[in-house]
């Protein structure tokens, strides 16, 4: 190769088939999400004396930031997160602490009875802590290697650090976030080769602790009681579920039509975030709910396919953790709105209102896209030397 040609050689990331398909899928979910959000939020915004597109415009600012985060993550080598795992975990713990310390109410005021947000609700630390849990757990799994199969030197450090994060979430209180941290940790550990017997033992030990925390959190206990025995508790505690089922049932097979739903007139609380799929069920019917379910099934398939073809064990575990987090959150949300699960307070990725969640969802998708990409050397501006490029696609 001539000296002039060498000077024009550069490297770029080229998306594999799974990564390209995931980009198209997420773009579709985002387009649907903006439409559904506008329909669900227009009347609420007007009742608050704002423009009907107020929440839509706020969501679009999150989309703009998330798109930048996605682009950077998709073009940045995801192996870097191995070195960043500890700083990310430390930052997450610090930000989570800011939401519960008694002298930080100025930046973390109570909203709807809990302190989960910073700076007036613009940042939710628990959302970004999910990414820290995945990367930190994957890093430590790879670092420990065979020692992972030992209980004290293998699993104990994971339980201490992630347990601390979960404890802070319980103090907010946010039981859903605490459970998500532990579940994601368990999935990454299982994928990394931890012994099943340890999981059984820890589950036996943690069940009484978890139930004790549920009893302390009256709202969580009421949700569980309502789910298992709807006739036992007062109407107020099952109002959300009742209105959600009315919305989904009213939609029938094909829905009442876009913008024609009645539940967003004020009957269904939190219809912008925790119950946004109810609007999908009402306006697009069973067909709409089925589409959402299949879309996240496809997301899971693509994510796990990317994990299987990842270029390092660390990236494989990161892809498993990120895919599991997104898909589980979506399925729990859909399960709640159709009455299959007790109310959890989880948003629907790419669809629900919430800029922190939207930015995180796009950031994690960008990381998955990078894991599903490969480096290729380019000579000049367009021509690629086949002898220098991988022959496979992720």
pLDDT at position 175 is: 82
Note the pLDDT of residue 228.
53
71 and 25 in a common domain: yes
Do 177 and 238 share a domain, yes or no?
Answer: no
Residue 377 within any structural domain of the chain = no
**pLDDT tens-digit series, residues 159-175:** 899 999 999 998 888 88
Number of helical H runs and strand E runs in the chain: 13, 2
Q: For residue 391, what pLDDT is reported?
A: 44
Q: List strand residue ranges (DSSP E) for the chain, in order.
A: 9-15, 373-379
Instruction: Assess whether 162 and 228 both reside in one domain.
Output: no
Give kind and range of the element (H or E) at residue 277: helix 276-308
Predicted pLDDT of residue 380: 60
Q: State how many domains the chain has.
A: 2
Q: Is the dihedral of CA 112, 324, 365, 86 positive or negative?
A: positive
How far is it, in rounded angstroms, from Cα 121 to Cα 110?
Answer: 10
pLDDT computed for residue 389 by the predictor = 47
pLDDT at 113: 74
Of 165, 183, 216, the last residue of a domain is 216
170 and 270 inside one domain: no
pLDDT given at position 142: 94
- The separation between CA 323 and the C-alpha centre of its own chain, rounded to angstroms, equals 9
Predicted pLDDT of residue 98: 92
Q: Identify whether residues 181 and 233 lie together within a single domain.
A: no
Domain finish residue from 164, 196, 216: 216
Does a structural domain hold residue 119?
yes
Shared domain check, 207 and 282: no
Domain range for 199: 82-216
Residue 308 forms part of a structural domain: yes
- Last residue of a domain, which of 166, 187, 216? 216
In a domain, 386, yes or no: no
Residue 176 has a pLDDT of 84
- The closest alpha carbon to 137, from 159, 115, 116, 152, belongs to 159
Q: Can the peptide bond before residue 56 be classed as cis, meaning omega within 30 degrees of 0?
A: no
Looking at the structure, do residues 23 and 89 belong to the same domain, yes or no?
A: no
309 contacts 16 by C-beta, under 8 angstroms? yes
Tell me: do 96 and 201 sit in the same domain. yes
The reported pLDDT for the residue numbered 9 is: 66
For position 205, what pLDDT does the model report? 64
Q: By C-alpha distance, which of 175, 160, 43 is closest to 93?
A: 160
> Both 227 and 212 in a single domain?
no
Instruction: Kindly state whether residue 207 falls inside one of the protein's structural domains.
Output: yes
325 occurs within a structural domain:
yes
Look at residue 23 in the predicted model and tell me its pLDDT. Answer: 97
Residue with tokens 């009256």: 218
| Same domain, residue pair 57 and 147 | no
Integer angstrom CA distances of residue 263 from 83, 193, 259, 272: 48, 47, 11, 11
Parallel/antiparallel/unpaired status of strands 373-379 and 9-15: antiparallel
> Based on the domain organization, do 177 and 244 belong to the same domain?
no
Instruction: Supply the pLDDT for residue 226.
Output: 54
Q: Supply the pTM of this predicted model.
A: 0.87
Work out the widest C-alpha separation in the chain, in whole angstroms.
81
pLDDT digits (tens, 9 = 90+) for 16-68: 999 999 999 999 999 999 999 999 998 889 988 899 999 999 999 999 999 99
- 96 in a structural domain: yes
In a domain, 382, yes or no: no
Tell me the Cα Rg of the chain: 22
Segments of the chain with pLDDT less than 50: 215, 218, 221, 231-234, 236-237, 385-394
Same domain, 160 and 286: no
């Amino acid at each position: 190769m001539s000296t002039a040609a060498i000077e024009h050689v550069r490297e770029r990331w080229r998306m594999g088939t799974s990564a390209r398909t995931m980009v198209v899928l997420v773009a579709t979910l985002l387009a649907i999400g903006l439409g559904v959000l506008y329909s669900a939020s227009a009347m609420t915004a007007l009742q608050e004396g704002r423009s009907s597109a107020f929440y839509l415009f706020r969501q679009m600012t999150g989309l703009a930031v998330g798109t930048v985060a996605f682009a950077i993550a998709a073009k940045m080598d995801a192996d870097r997160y191995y070195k960043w795992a500890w700083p990310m975990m430390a930052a997450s713990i610090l930000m989570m602490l800011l939401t519960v310390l008694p002298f930080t109410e100025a930046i973390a005021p109570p909203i709807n009875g809990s302190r989960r947000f910073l700076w007036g609700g613009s940042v939710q630390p628990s959302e970004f802590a999910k990414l820290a849990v995945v990367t930190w757990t994957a890093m430590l799994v790879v670092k420990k290697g065979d020692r992972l199969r030992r209980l004290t030197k293998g699993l104990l450090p994971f339980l201490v650090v992630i347990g601390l994060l979960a404890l802070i979430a319980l103090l907010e209180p946010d039981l859903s976030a605490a459970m998500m941290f532990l579940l994601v940790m368990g999935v990454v550990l299982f994928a990394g080769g931890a012994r099943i017997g340890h999981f059984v033992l820890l589950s036996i030990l943690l069940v009484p602790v978890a139930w004790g925390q549920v009893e302390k959190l009256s709202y969580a206990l009421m949700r569980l009681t309502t789910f298992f025995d709807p006739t036992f508790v007062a109407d107020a505690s099952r109002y959300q579920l009742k209105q959600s089922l009315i919305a989904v049932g009213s939609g029938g097979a094909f829905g009442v039509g876009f913008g024609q739903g009645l539940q967003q007139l004020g009957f269904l609380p939190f219809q912008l975030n925790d119950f946004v799929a109810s609007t999908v069920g009402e306006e697009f019917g069973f067909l709409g709910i089925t589409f959402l379910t299949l879309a996240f099934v496809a997301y899971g398939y693509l994510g796990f396919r990317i994990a299987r073809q990842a270029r390092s064990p660390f990236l494989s575990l990161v892809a498993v953790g990120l895919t599991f987090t997104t898909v589980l959150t979506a399925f729990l949300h859909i399960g709640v709105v159709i009455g299959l699960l007790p109310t959890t307070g989880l948003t629907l990725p790419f669809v629900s209102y919430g800029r922190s969640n939207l930015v995180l969802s796009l950031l994690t998708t960008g990381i998955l896209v990078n894991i599903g990409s490969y480096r290729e050397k380019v000579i000049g501006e367009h021509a690629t030397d086949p002898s220098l490029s991988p022959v496979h696609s992720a």
